[in-house]
Amino acid sequence: MGHSLALRLYLMFSARAEGFAERKLAQRLAIGKEDADRLDERRGIASRDRPDGPLIWFHAASVGESLALLELIRRLTEERPETHILVTTGTVTSANVMAQRLPDRAVHQYAPLDALPFVRRFLDHWRPDLAVWTESELWPALITETDARDIPMLLINARMSKASHDKWRFLRGMAENLLRRFRHAHVQDDVTSAYLRRLGLPGRRLEVTGTLKEGAAALPYEESERERIASRLSGRPVWLAASTHEGEEKKVLEAHNLALRANPRLLLILVPRHADRGDAVAELLQSDGWSYVRRTAEELPDGDTQVYLADTMGELGLWYRVSPISFVGGSLEPIGGHNPFEPAALGSAILHGPYVTNFVDIYQRLTEAKAARLISAPDSLAAAINDLMNPDRAAAMANAAWEVSSSGADVTDIAVDLLLETLDAPAQARVADQS
């Protein structure tokens, strides 16, 4: 396949970009966005041996995308015990989560930066039998070099925002050249399908299947810890603010202050999206005079605690099970929102702000099912919390949310079938050629 002018220029730069990439790595390392102990992986130098046998490589951008793959990976390794899995991501947080959650025969590596020397080194070592991109993070050198080695490529769980579409629209020739290298694409919604067709992916290769997050297994937790927390709460009313970002904690705390007027015993469990913001959130709580305890200090709330700062990573499954009401963060600030199927699958009523561009279709379905409520400011958040202190109302929302979240489990089945058919196709073709 020929290259567009923009792609040719990009690849010419990428072939000589080792120095630029090294400077970029140094900058990211200095601000804590790289793992010093595994920096060579970003240069395409593997820290693990390639396992023998078939290898499926999944590339995901960060935490949310990689978590959506876990149930799919589990199913693949169950159905094909001889197959191994490689997952690449680009963030430190995602690497930590994958280290805890990946099953046997699956390994995580940091994705190489998109400099051709790094990309070639990565592919020379891993030699995947199938490459699977998730969502819509398109790295030109990585895609073109993978395709040049006749490694079949799929795009699954694809989602494209308007901003991403508008950016690629100005490089439509380049986008079309990259997208046509994918044999098939499973997309989350009709909007993404339209965007990808507009950018050049043939419609016959597109299938709207919904999001893999619908078919994902419920977030894990330890039952003994849930029982310990529940016992400590002694029946106190509780609500959860999950995956909050800078600027949201202030609004959440204002809402909590308003809600306390009607429910003086109400406890807020506050979970920042990034655990390394724990100190900053603790300073906010301290300066505003809240009575709070911290999870990282191994403290538990007592009768006087107003806020429980759960500043750990990987425990959302616990907090969603503890709280019957969950505000899902990244939605009161223009972040784009976070995955509402996580609380939906675990029996928690869902509240969210107006900024949910990452999950528009899902929130629309939840809203239509009366499983989620839109709030726009601290006062409306407080009013919703107080209303949902009525256990019947909260339970009705939670049950509706569970029904919506469980209705799409076949998305994973469809993805498993596509991957295995594609993985088997080269071997079948070889047999046909020989016959």
- The pair of structure tokens assigned to 332 is 């009161």
C-alpha pair distances (Å), 50 with each of 44, 84, 144, 302, 427: 13, 9, 22, 50, 21
* Alpha carbon distance 86, 73 (integer Å): 10
Burial classification of residue 197, based on how many CB atoms lie within 10 Å of its CB (0-12 exposed, 13-18 middle, 19 or more buried)? middle
Domains of the chain are 5-215+410-429 (3.40.50.11720), 223-406 (3.40.50.2000)
Burial classification of residue 128, based on how many CB atoms lie within 10 Å of its CB (0-12 exposed, 13-18 middle, 19 or more buried)? buried
List 34, 65, 71, 135, catalytic entry: 65
| Strand, coil or helix: 16 | coil
* Alpha carbon distance 93, 95 (integer Å): 5
- pLDDT value, residue 298: 92
- The pair of structure tokens assigned to 268 is 């807020």
- Residue for token digits 């409306």? 380
Whether 65 sits among the annotated catalytic residues: the reply is yes
- pLDDT value, residue 106: 95
- pLDDT value, residue 2: 64
- The pair of structure tokens assigned to 258 is 């308003």
Residues 6+ apart with CB under 8 A from 327: 239, 240, 241, 242, 252, 351, 352, 375, 381
The DSSP code sequence of 175-195 is: HHHHHTT-SEEEESSHHHHHH
Q: Burial letters for 13-38: b for 16+ Cβ neighbours within 10 Å, e otherwise?
A: ebeebeeebbeebeebeeeeebeeee
- Residue for token digits 């006087």? 304
* Alpha carbon distance 6, 26 (integer Å): 27
- pLDDT value, residue 432: 41
- pLDDT value, residue 200: 95
Query: Do residues 56 and 129 lie in contact, with contact meaning Cβ atoms separated by under 8 Å?
Result: yes
- pLDDT value, residue 82: 94
Q: Is the pTM of this model over 0.85?
A: no
Residue 276 DSSP one-character state? G
* Alpha carbon distance 435, 430 (integer Å): 9
- pLDDT value, residue 103: 86
Q: Where are the alpha helices (DSSP H) in 82-222?
A: 92-101, 116-126, 140-148, 162-169, 172-179, 190-198
- pLDDT value, residue 210: 85
* Alpha carbon distance 393, 400 (integer Å): 11
* Alpha carbon distance 112, 122 (integer Å): 7
| Strand, coil or helix: 74 | helix
Phi, psi (degrees; rounded to nearest 5) at 333: -120, 155
* Alpha carbon distance 424, 429 (integer Å): 9
Residue 358 DSSP one-character state? G
pLDDT tens for the chain, 435 residues long, are 667 899 999 999 999 999 999 999 999 999 999 999 999 999 999 999 999 999 999 999 877 788 788 889 988 999 999 999 999 999 998 898 888 888 889 999 999 999 999 999 999 999 999 999 997 788 999 999 999 999 999 999 998 888 899 999 999 999 999 999 999 999 988 999 999 999 999 999 999 998 887 666 688 889 999 999 999 998 899 999 999 999 999 999 999 999 999 999 999 999 999 999 999 999 999 999 999 999 999 999 999 999 999 999 889 999 999 999 999 999 999 998 998 988 998 889 999 999 998 788 788 889 999 999 999 999 999 999 999 999 999 999 999 998 887 766 678 889 999 999 999 986 545 334 333
Q: How many CB atoms within 10 Å of residue 2?
A: 6
Can you name the residues that pair with 123 across neighbouring β-strands? none
- pLDDT value, residue 431: 39
- pLDDT value, residue 435: 36
Q: In what order do the strands lie in the sheet containing 55-59?
A: 106-110, 84-89, 55-59, 130-134, 153-158, 184-187, 206-208
